[in-house]
Amino acid sequence: MLELAIGIILGCCALGAGTAMIAGVGPGIGEGNAVAKACEAIGRQPECKSQVTTTMLMGCAIAETTGLYALVIAILLIFVAPNMLVDVLLKSIG
């Protein structure tokens, strides 16, 4: 029975980490849009290339934040949560 409980904990942590990374879709679409628009802008005004590139990189970095939150959650779920939850389980059993 204990093995089953620990197995459920580990499996659910892995499932949760995988599910959390679905958030990676959003920043991907957003950054793709940003880069597409930046390419258009450079095509229209090639003399502004350096400024557009700088602004685009800044915008991409900020758009990436939500994806990185998901990444942090996933890393916590993989590396930190299983040990903690198993400890809680063992302590509650006594």
> How far from 61 is each of 4, 15, 54, 74, CA to CA, in Å?
42, 27, 11, 19
Contact between 13 and 53 (Cβ < 8 Å): no
Q: Report 41-60 residues binding another protein (CB under 8 A).
A: 57-58
d(CA 43, CA 49): 9
Minimum distance between the CB of residue 27 and another protein, rounded to whole angstroms? 11
Q: Report 58-77 residues binding another protein (CB under 8 A).
A: 58, 61, 64-65, 68-69, 71-72, 75
Under rule CB under 8 A, residue 8 binds another protein:
no
- Which residue ranges make up the site for another protein (CB under 8 A)? 57-58, 61, 64-65, 68-69, 71-72, 75, 79
